[in-house]
Structure 1
């Protein structure tokens, strides 16, 4: 088989699709055959074969391990073959090709994750034995393999695996540490003696692999131990500073000789990673290393002597160490709940050591260096500004772990909570030095001003009491935005950014019109594109503020919206368009219907923008989000763009389209906005509903499920006849499958939808949702703890079913009785439902409408056809109904007239504002109007509870013996009897 597999592997490496695809198909067929992986091993371990064939063999071997090595994997590799492969893989470590050796090491690591130590207890001893040997290439390959094994074993998180790794660490840590010391010393000696690059590289790469292993062992192998009690570990951590210093000096010497070794850069970086990992995972053991760490990092990051040795990645690592020491949550006296931390002594010591190191002089030096060195724009910044202004302007939020500018800003901000008093005077001095506008030709002054403004913006919250921003805003900043020199674009862009930062911190509301006027100038087409984009972001901050007043903004609306729209058309990158579109969306959201006169150009542009976004799903999301605000602002007038919206929603909510993964949530929001503002159901909206059954069947998360149910609710209100007649059955079927999978605590939106269906369609609605009602009744019947929040809503659904369709109510009770079994009867089940109903009716504060609904349903039970169990609760039923009457009956203005039902529409001819829950809300959609229209047929607003109760009791008295009725009345508590007779006569 070897020859055949070699031939197919050669073809699998071909660039010709006609050769490649049949070969791949053949390999897919072979990968489940017995002996295939033994053949692959024989091929890649045969050094006489071509490298490309061996490479393909090891790649397919690795893929097979991923798919078929697990014991329960379908078509898994046979146990005897796995045993042969485990034994063979660690027989020799003489692979000459680095890439193949790396793959073999990864394969062994993956197998070790599954089989070590039970099926492969010889793995680690074999590797350590080879490392102790004299064959240099075998040592390197064994170390490479051990690194992969340790890394994969360290990633396991089960308790048994953690204990196993801790034991492994205890057995090998000292050996690895000693080996690392030996190779590190060897490399440093060779480098200092002028050895050539190849001589230096070999021990350096060994030292780097050993250091990587040590890092994994230290971080993950002592999680339950106090490493400060281990002399070896603490000595290792202390010697890291010396090794890093020696490494940096060696690096500088080698560079002077024209030698640059990437492994040396990685070695130095990894030394700092050992420190950061120890600080993160063993913070209390690290406390006594805080002074050494701070001295080391501050020397290399903030002194002229130290900075001559550094390079960017190393500086980032050092700055992150400083940030970690300043912000480590374990070095705070209390937890987030205000409790003292258990390691109180260590925390106190850490705080003390920080304060001792960060003297006012040190803080002044650090702060000055950050602002005057790290915050300065560089030549590469200006090159990017000119070559790609959009890319430069859009903040992509680079991580402080990898980006020097973001890292220095984070360190700067981190110093203020504890050392703000010492840093603030330094900033104030710098600010006063560069307070006035500078000469446009003084390049150094411009760069320094930009850096100082950056610092003042980052520290805005901490400088609240020290900076009179209002005066600064109205004088210097305003003047600087009016400067026309091209060099001043740097300052103008920073001024816009600075205003955006301080707007949310300290800006007199009276100055907001001036801010809008300044941003209009910064948005003009004559300005630099980066300045304009920054101005748009500042506007977003100003609009997204609790002090925003739309009336103040209206005089500027037309000009700002036009400028933003022009900017949107001018920029070309999708990320930039998203940023500007986000600001436009904010404008539309904040001004609402006042945007109507100005949106025509945007309406015309959106279709072409949608085409531009064909391969950029995040831009599609931004367009859809903007349209949500557009529809809410224009309401029914948004029908002019309905075809485009229908197309967008169709793409977003069609599960057969790949884009739905990104667009579904925003698409549902737009779908809902269109429905809620529609006056009639159009053909496009009707066609969209075809997507809903598939969505319900797809297993939506709670957020998108809630949105989907809101969309269904909007359809129910917009076209109840079509929903009940055509769409209802598949939708109820989809909801039923969800209903059974959701936790009780997550069922609230479903129950709300059921109540709306019952309000809209009454008896037909009850018949439609009958299959869902069993779950509602069961929730009430079981009365579980996690159902308490849902209980009142479930009771209201039960009440509405009882009011609109007693037959469906009886059928559901009968079905519930059969499901419960245990010799329960329908009467006993009904009795428990009523008992829970009465107990929960006033369990929490309910709207008066819901309480009255429950009371009407209870009244409907008071007839001679009800089973005896109802009358067993007669006194409690009457008591609860009377309590509701006490809440809803209000005295008449005419003292001679009786109190009246405050929820009865007949008492408010021509004025139904009292039934609207959102009277003070500015935005009122067609959907809300339709909800209000339901009141005209809702028993809560058409049935007088007092009269209904009186009629029920009179009819009941006539249908049973008088003494029976009097006996029931006598069971009432005196206060309930008295209050009842104040409302009715029977």
Structure 2
């Protein structure tokens, strides 16, 4: 019997009016959860129909949430095997009870969770029990119980079918083909005896069957049970569709969409199985004919509010049809006769000869039956003339709430909005079948020749322009856009003033934006700037918010293009900035403000150092109020950080004007305790680095942020690579940081922590930071003790020695960087360096070092390595005597290959600017780096003089005299 304490705790926890009582109940439940038999009592409470539904619901919810923590073998709980058996044995019998759907849905999840953990090892008979439960329940003519057991079956099947590896997956592969006959036959039986109850039950049976087909086995088309069921689905789909037309019953619509989901999921997960199933091309034809025949009808129906349910249903059906067609395109665009199997999607890669034959057959079937030329022409025409077009509801939203229209349009998913789905399908069709291009262009030309200005004419023109927009990648090879714009479209912008023509104004901007990345020269770009300036930003009343945002989008794409010439944009910059300022002041939604800021950020980044002081001042006035906007959506703040980063890059040596706002933004964004760090950190790090890179001096604000950087590195975020770049920039900006013993010990400890498991990129960033430390010119005494304490040196030794193994390129890259660190250390203080190593380590390092010097590609680095390893001879001459010929060969090579003038190897070491930087456009950090390098031994120590002094010392030893008898530097 269920304990009264548990019942009271459940009752308290369900309180909706007394928060104190609810929290007390939750605390009591947490306390009881540690007691033996807790889960069994929860199950008993669930099945006790004398208890209130809310109490039973809380019991099953708590049971569901406890499974993951208690049921596993590794769980630290009091759940004994006997109690598990007790619960498991009662789950399916309870699933056959006529409990309320709200309750049973939770129990179904409980069964699925247990099945996932116990099947097949502890619960091998699960599917036999499910089969027996379904059959016995169906014989009792109890619709509620049958609904519940089928709901449980679907939940179990869905959960287990999602398992990709392990014994459960192997068992599902074995069971699924036969078990789907149980659920499939039940579905067909219920559909033959239709009633409201039976249709709801059939829906659960259908869901389970569909899941078994597309997730149960990856070659389901080879099993008769699956083929038989699949072949019947088309007739069922047609029948259900016909019934829905008469009644508009919700359950019929759900059944129609669920069958469509079967086709889509099977095509996405197992395209070969779909194509090889019986009647698969009839299914494809059903959807294609639906799209062809229903488009215009849907367009007319959308104008009638009384048909809103019908419009929604057929739009969803159309989307499914477009996705089916799109997935079939993926099959037909990959010719197995020529495609490399490794380049095919994983779902299509053949594993054996039968798979390879299925792949060929699928391609042949789809090529022959799904995409005939006549059908293609009709399908494309339907997409353009009907499915592309804006609906009355769209136009009404445009007029009443333009900001909401923009938000919905920008967030529209391809698979959830019929026009977006149609546009995506058109793009893929014309890409896969470029022979359609001429027909599409003839249609566009035909529409452009019309001069009607009524709304249907405008929408038809909008559809034609969408062809040019979404087919740009293919049509660029068949036509030029400039004549169309200059002869047919721009004159209309001047001549036509009907209200609906704002649709065309917007579409022209979006269409041109699609062409800019694939075909844009300076003349075309100049035309764009002029057109937007005179046509879109003019005082014409048709240029509403939506039109002007489209114009800004076009400018953003044009300016952000790789080939864009900023000087061409400069005469138009002021107008564009003013337009953004104006719109930011007008709009009310944060989403639109974010879009405007994204444009602003791109323009700032494009202008760079050419950004005038008045623009900088205006931007710094706009951003703070936006930063303080109260919203749960952090995307606006991320764009502000991006804009501020672009502004810092643009202002360079004048960037301190950005520091007050940057400090405020960063204090929130980089604090590990901040609730916003997960949203803002990535963009905050980019801003942070821009500030340090562009600083001309170590400003107090910048230095004040440095401890936060070490804190972030210690919490091991996913952005370690970016954080290390900032660390490197700090070390270059203010070498005096090295004198802070606590900070340096933390940095060295972090390096030792991350290096063993770091990726190549992160490892090189870590080693670069260490190299900056040892090459900074700061005496080793400032940080040497911390370096020795950290345990980093033995790790570096291991990395260096691992790099001498032939064939391991990655290890060699890491090792080369480590030897560069050693070179700076050994040259600046050979006694300190040798003190860090054992005698055995020193011998091995020297041996590996002499091997690697010749392979260093950069002559300046090669010189530094030679100086470093040679400096060890001053402290340990035996190293030379044991490797004399190797040292002499290295010195000879260095003198031959590293050409110097007064010891300066500058001609070989100027790889320190960023891509795109000219000599007049270098960041302050790059200038610092060049100045610092100019003072290093690479540029100040003549190699010949160094070797002369070294060999003179060696000749003081008789052995040295003998070895060096025939060599002079």
Q: Kindly state the Cα deviation for residue 332 of structure 1 after the two structures are TM-superposed.
A: 2.9
Structure 2 distance, partners of 1:237, 1:580, is 50
Contact 1:6 1:43 survives alignment (8 Å): yes
Deviates more, 1:305-314 or 1:83-92: 305-314
For residue 19 of structure 2, what is the aligned residue in structure 1?
17
Contact 2:36 2:78 survives alignment (8 Å): no
- Give a deviation string over 1:378-418, Cα, whole Å, max 9, x none: 01111221233123224434333332222211221121233
For residue 721 of structure 1, what is the aligned residue in structure 2?
736
For residue 639 of structure 1, what is the aligned residue in structure 2?
656
RMSD of equivalent CA atoms = 2.6
Structure 2 distance, partners of 1:330, 1:446, is 35
Alignment equivalent of 1:662, drawn from 659, 676, 679: 679
> Is 1:686 matched with 2:703?
yes
Contact 1:393 1:534 survives alignment (8 Å): no
Alignment equivalent of 2:174, drawn from 167, 171, 175: 167
Distance of aligned partners of 1:902 and 1:237 in 2 relative to their CA distance in 1, 3 Å threshold: farther
Q: Kindly state the Cα deviation for residue 532 of structure 1 after the two structures are TM-superposed.
A: 0.9
Q: Kindly state the Cα deviation for residue 850 of structure 1 after the two structures are TM-superposed.
A: 0.8
Structure 1 distance, partners of 2:163, 2:225, is 25
> Is 1:583 matched with 2:599?
yes
Query: Equivalences for 1:283-682 in 2 at 5 Å?
Result: 283-288=271-276, 289-304=279-294, 311-328=314-331, 331-333=334-336, 334-335=339-340, 343=355, 345-357=357-369, 358-394=371-407, 395-421=409-435, 423-435=436-448, 438-440=451-453, 442-482=454-494, 483-521=496-534, 522-524=536-538, 527-597=543-613, 598-612=615-629, 615-682=632-699
Structure 2 distance, partners of 1:294, 1:581, is 44
Contact 1:290 1:354 survives alignment (8 Å): no
> Is 1:176 matched with 2:176?
no
For residue 195 of structure 1, what is the aligned residue in structure 2?
none
Q: Kindly state the Cα deviation for residue 454 of structure 1 after the two structures are TM-superposed.
A: 0.9
Q: Kindly state the Cα deviation for residue 915 of structure 1 after the two structures are TM-superposed.
A: 8.1
Deviates more, 1:354-363 or 1:509-518: 354-363
Contact 2:670 2:684 survives alignment (8 Å): yes
For residue 875 of structure 1, what is the aligned residue in structure 2?
885
For residue 63 of structure 1, what is the aligned residue in structure 2?
65
Contact 2:764 2:814 survives alignment (8 Å): yes
Q: Kindly state the Cα deviation for residue 756 of structure 1 after the two structures are TM-superposed.
A: 0.8
Contact 2:476 2:519 survives alignment (8 Å): yes
Q: Kindly state the Cα deviation for residue 345 of structure 1 after the two structures are TM-superposed.
A: 4.3
Q: Which runs of 5+ in 1 are unaligned?
A: 188-199, 815-825, 891-899, 971-976
Structure 2 distance, partners of 1:849, 1:515, is 48
Structure 2 distance, partners of 1:933, 1:606, is 36
For residue 141 of structure 1, what is the aligned residue in structure 2?
148
Distance of aligned partners of 1:127 and 1:344 in 2 relative to their CA distance in 1, 3 Å threshold: closer
For residue 886 of structure 1, what is the aligned residue in structure 2?
896
Distance of aligned partners of 1:348 and 1:148 in 2 relative to their CA distance in 1, 3 Å threshold: closer
Contact 1:41 1:61 survives alignment (8 Å): yes
Q: Kindly state the Cα deviation for residue 323 of structure 1 after the two structures are TM-superposed.
A: 0.6
Alignment equivalent of 2:83, drawn from 36, 58, 81: 81
Distance of aligned partners of 1:861 and 1:969 in 2 relative to their CA distance in 1, 3 Å threshold: farther
Query: 2:65 aligns to what SS in structure 1?
Result: helix
For residue 196 of structure 2, what is the aligned residue in structure 1?
201
For residue 837 of structure 2, what is the aligned residue in structure 1?
813
- Give a deviation string over 1:669-695, Cα, whole Å, max 9, x none: 111111122233233222212212221
Distance of aligned partners of 1:344 and 1:80 in 2 relative to their CA distance in 1, 3 Å threshold: closer
TM-score (normalised: structure 2): 0.90
Distance of aligned partners of 1:745 and 1:674 in 2 relative to their CA distance in 1, 3 Å threshold: closer
Contact 2:800 2:816 survives alignment (8 Å): no
For residue 254 of structure 1, what is the aligned residue in structure 2?
247
Q: Kindly state the Cα deviation for residue 443 of structure 1 after the two structures are TM-superposed.
A: 0.8
> Is 1:790 matched with 2:814?
yes
Alignment equivalent of 1:804, drawn from 805, 828, 840: 828
Distance of aligned partners of 1:480 and 1:429 in 2 relative to their CA distance in 1, 3 Å threshold: same
Deviates more, 1:176-185 or 1:100-109: 176-185
Q: Which runs of 5+ in 2 are unaligned?
A: 299-309
Distance of aligned partners of 1:90 and 1:73 in 2 relative to their CA distance in 1, 3 Å threshold: same
Distance of aligned partners of 1:589 and 1:813 in 2 relative to their CA distance in 1, 3 Å threshold: same
Query: 2:35 aligns to what SS in structure 1?
Result: coil
Structure 2 distance, partners of 1:176, 1:71, is 32
Q: Kindly state the Cα deviation for residue 478 of structure 1 after the two structures are TM-superposed.
A: 2.3
- Give a deviation string over 1:492-527, Cα, whole Å, max 9, x none: 010110111112222442132221122224245652
Alignment equivalent of 2:939, drawn from 898, 921, 941: 941
Structure 2 distance, partners of 1:888, 1:542, is 46
> Is 1:773 matched with 2:793?
yes
Structure 1 distance, partners of 2:498, 2:888, is 84
Structure 2 distance, partners of 1:842, 1:872, is 19
Q: Give the number of aligned pairs.
A: 920
Q: Kindly state the Cα deviation for residue 762 of structure 1 after the two structures are TM-superposed.
A: 4.0
Structure 2 distance, partners of 1:569, 1:561, is 13
Structure 2 distance, partners of 1:14, 1:47, is 19
Distance of aligned partners of 1:624 and 1:969 in 2 relative to their CA distance in 1, 3 Å threshold: farther
Structure 1 distance, partners of 2:333, 2:446, is 39
Structure 1 distance, partners of 2:384, 2:473, is 18
Q: Kindly state the Cα deviation for residue 23 of structure 1 after the two structures are TM-superposed.
A: 1.6
